[in-house]
Chain A
Amino acid sequence: MENMFVNPSGECDSKSAADSERTLYPYVTGTSVVAVKYKDGILMASDTGGSYGSTLRYKSVERMKAIGKHSVLGASGEISDFQEILRYLDELILYDNMWDDGNSLGPKEVHNYLNRVMYNRRNKFNPLWNSLVLGGMKNGQKYLGMVSMIGVHFEDNHVATGFGNHLARPILRDEWHEDMSFEEAVKLLEKCMLVLLYRDRSAINKIQIAQVTEAGFKIFQPYALKTFWGFSAFENPSKGAVGTW
């Protein structure tokens, strides 16, 4: 029965060349992205790591990029698919700019465009293996949304991808509030990123923060979080089990 199945072009046949062009699993992946709305706009944080399976192979991957004048896109998942998405958005923004008519695509429009792209790829069984976070600010309106690789999308005051959903969002649900200052929001994001650093195997200690306000996009230089490993329980690890290492 495996010999007869429908390939992505909709034709019924046995193994064809087209199969090798479908995404089956990711190769080089980025881990969580966390983002929050704050008083002046959106703040987004991610680490700069690209894992090759369980190897932390690439340590300077920028996983957040500005889109047009009003938005920032952060991605986790397959890095090459993220780069492909950036190419699509580049073209989209280019055509938008070419109209030169005073109108511009805002974060809402970009978010929905991405949703269309992700969902259509999912329907063809050839997904872009990413979880995307789209944040932005236009005409005083803040916008923060997420699109998953199967086209699930929503807007919220704070979003996270991957492990961030499980580790960061509970913190955000408790501690996020409307109109946080820049410092408060950065501290909150750092708290989330620290938990992720401790607990997510694919996280590295080199994080970046991106900011979108009415004035535009800004990405800060990567920096390391301060970690603490001096717990007494770590002091003599062989205490309870002699001979262990």
Chain B
Amino acid sequence: MLRNQYDTDVMTWSPMGRLFQVEYAMDAVKQGGAAFGLRSRSHVVLASVDRAVSGLSFHQRKIFKIDDRTGVAMAGLAADGRVVLQYLASECINYSFVYESPIPVSRLVARLADKAQACTMLSLKRPYGVGCLVAGTDESGVHLYYNCPSGDYFECQAFAIGSHSQAAKVCLEREFETFNDRPREELIQRALLAITETLRWQGKEFDSSSCTVAILGENEAFHVISRSVIEQLVDSSKAT
């Protein structure tokens, strides 16, 4: 049974001016595992709560490096995420090849948004079911963007997407105004706090094997922080 009369395909508007297929795609992001991004003046931290398909499988990666200067954390359909990642990497490397220079992050996310928008008005395509937190650095500093399946994108100081991310959103909202001046380690701590809050909401304890934290800085290439460093940071924050 259809939830709505006007949700059969993405080509149909509802009388209230809504595209239900696009909204359902955004719901797919809400169902995905949580992902967070935080930005200071010089660094961006991406964090995620990873899920495992079963007890036997590894936790699925959601944070990917696009190139040394850009990375992305995704929530939603992992398969769509792979395609999006490939597109982002391809755009980055093509720009670098022609201009010998890294692509400005705002243009990269605008291209991704254009691609996503195309899927909202073609009968032969469906919207991507993945929301992307894109972290990047270019001439004008470090940036954090959120790309929606709808083709919307906006720059943020901090953002949280995915299931049970509401708790993290609350704690980020409380503190985001101070992020610009926070040193690197404190930014990572804030990200770990966001993960902990999200897991607590689900009744779970913090587990370093089921989460990923990555960092990017003006002078620091994008990389995932190792589990041992995470555990050290968590222990040191428990001690204080």
Report the minimal beta-carbon distance from A147 to chain B, rounded to whole angstroms: 12
Question: With an 8 A cutoff between CB atoms, is B140 at the interface?
Answer: yes
Q: Please report the C-alpha to C-alpha distance between residue A231 and residue B110 in the assembled complex, in whole angstroms.
A: 67
Q: Please report the C-alpha to C-alpha distance between residue A105 and residue B104 in the assembled complex, in whole angstroms.
A: 10
Q: Please report the C-alpha to C-alpha distance between residue A61 and residue B199 in the assembled complex, in whole angstroms.
A: 71
If the complex has contacts A102-B140, A103-B140, A139-B139, are A116 and B106 also in contact, measured as CB distance less than 8 A? no
Of the listed stretches A4-12, A106-114, A212-220, chain B binds: A106-114
Chain B residue nearest to A153 in the complex (CB):
B100
Question: With an 8 A cutoff between CB atoms, is B238 at the interface?
Answer: no
Count contacts between A and B, CB distance < 8 Å: 31
B100 touches which of A103, A112, A139 (Cβ 8 Å): A112
B107 touches A106 (CB 8 A): no
B139 touches A103 (CB 8 A): yes
Q: Please report the C-alpha to C-alpha distance between residue A111 and residue B107 in the assembled complex, in whole angstroms.
A: 20
Instruction: Return the CB mask of B89-121 against A: 1 if under 8 Å, else 0.
Output: 000000001111100101100100000000000
Instruction: Return the CB mask of A73-106 against B: 1 if under 8 Å, else 0.
Output: 0000000000000000000000000010111011
B104 touches which of A101, A112, A116, A139 (Cβ 8 Å): A101
Report the minimal beta-carbon distance from B239 to chain A, rounded to whole angstroms: 44
CB within 8 Å of B: which of A95-148?
99, 101-103, 105-106, 108-109, 111-113, 116, 139
A105 touches B99 (CB 8 A): yes
Report the minimal beta-carbon distance from B208 to chain A, rounded to whole angstroms: 38
A103 touches B99 (CB 8 A): no
Q: Which residues of the partner chain A approach B138 to less than 8 Å between Cβ atoms?
A: 103
Q: Please report the C-alpha to C-alpha distance between residue A105 and residue B100 in the assembled complex, in whole angstroms.
A: 11
Report the minimal beta-carbon distance from A118 to chain B, rounded to whole angstroms: 13
B139 touches A112 (CB 8 A): no
CB within 8 Å of A: which of B193-232?
none
Q: Please report the C-alpha to C-alpha distance between residue A139 and residue B138 in the assembled complex, in whole angstroms.
A: 13
A108 touches B100 (CB 8 A): yes
If the complex has contacts A102-B140, A103-B140, A139-B139, are A112 and B107 also in contact, measured as CB distance less than 8 A? no
Q: Which residues of A contact B (CB under 8 A)?
A: 99, 101-103, 105-106, 108-109, 111-113, 116, 139
What are 27 inter-chain pairs, A to B, with CB distance below 8 A? A99-B106, A99-B107, A101-B104, A101-B106, A101-B107, A102-B140, A103-B104, A103-B106, A103-B107, A103-B138, A103-B139, A103-B140, A105-B99, A108-B99, A108-B101, A109-B99, A109-B101, A111-B100, A112-B98, A112-B99, A112-B100, A112-B101, A113-B98, A113-B99, A116-B97, A116-B98, A139-B139
